[in-house]
Amino acid sequence: MNEKFNSRFLKSGRYGIFLAFAIICIVLALSTPRFFTVPNLMIIGTQVSINALLAFGVTFVIITGGIDLSLGSMVAVTGVVAATFAHPDTYPLAVPLLAGLGAGLLFGAFNGFVVTKSKVPPFIVTLGTMTIGRGLALILSKGRPVSNLSDPFNFIGGGNVFGIPFPIIILIIAFLVCSVILNKTILGRYMYAVGGNEPAARASGIGVNRVKMWVYTICGILSALGGILLTSRITTGQPNAGAGFELDAIAAAIIGGTSTSGGTGTMTGTLIGALLIGVISNSLDLLNVTSYYQQVVMGVIIIGAVVLDSAGKKERG
């Protein structure tokens, strides 16, 4: 009986994150009355937005069997580029937005190009571009924050529409677009095929390198969007911004059920993973728990998610 229960539990592991999220929210609501207040929920949504955007991008990459460690550096360099063109009375709002997103597109495409052409493992490639991106951010900003940004640009990360913070609106739109790409397009089906069995995908005529180029480019664009949001929110382009963001994004994807070996993952799971991280962090703040313990908690959750993922694969055979 116990073995039968474990089998069912592992096979339904994709739903475990939803159950865990619901239980944690209930426990937190009972532990601290401030948790389920509208202002606090808006704070959580705003804080989660940047990590979720990065997590959406890296979910595409991980599904194809890759990894991207340069997310944090992309946040920094694209934020600096956008801030450079966001000074008042210089350019319209479209210019810093296009500049930042364009920088992310180029950075992501470069990652994809090197991964597909060099055959070097993505871990090593993106570890190198992580350093390159951080250096570029320092060079472009001359090692100093880029400040004095226009009000329309600052609205992106700090404004609200009908009482809803604008970053949450961007998060919702990005989630819907990414979900459509993954679930309703040929590219999405090819992503799963490449991550599930790359030799078989190649043999069936799928342009594996082209798919990888697309996923790294999309990841770069989403990282740039996160960089623009962060820059707007803190009203400066910081060359040191985004340090460690790649770890939180990858954690959100893995916690949400994206398999580290590729071929499995959903945007809904990634969103719940990002929300789970944000909720835990917020609740520990409300409970006056030191930030040091937050790192310990997140580490335990990540290990647990990977263990369940591995157990589920063995069970499925």
Residues in CB range of 98: below 8 A, 6 or more apart: none
Under DSSP, the state recorded for 262 is S
SS3 101: helix
Partners of 237 in the β-ladder? 146
Residues 6+ apart with CB under 8 A from 180: none
Q: Which residues neighbour 140 within 8 Å (Cβ) at sequence distance 6 or greater? A: 77, 80, 81, 84, 239
Residues shown for the chain = 317
- pLDDT grade for 89, boundaries at 50, 70 and 90: confident
Domain ranges for the chain, please list them: 40-302
pLDDT digits 0-9 by tens, 3-16:
444 444 444 445 67
Q: What is the pLDDT of residues 140-155, one digit of tens each?
A: 999 999 999 999 999 9
pLDDT at 312: 60
Greater confidence (301 vs 196) lies with 196
Mean pLDDT of the chain, nearest integer: 89
Q: What's the topology of domain 40-302?
A: ABC transporter involved in vitamin B12 uptake, BtuC (1.10.3470)
Stretch 104-126: mean pLDDT: 95
The whole-angstrom separation of Cα 199 and Cα 57 is 24
pLDDT at 179: 97
- Mean pLDDT to the nearest integer, 84-99: 93
Residue at 301: amino acid letter:
I
Assigned token pair, 194: 């490449």
Write out 227-244 in H/E/C secondary structure: HHHHHHHHCCECCCCCCC
Note the pLDDT of residue 211. 97
Interhelix angle for 2-11 vs 13-31, to 10°? 90
* d(C-alpha 173, C-alpha 225), whole Å: 12
Least Cα distance to 230 among 55, 49, 45, 42 occurs for 49
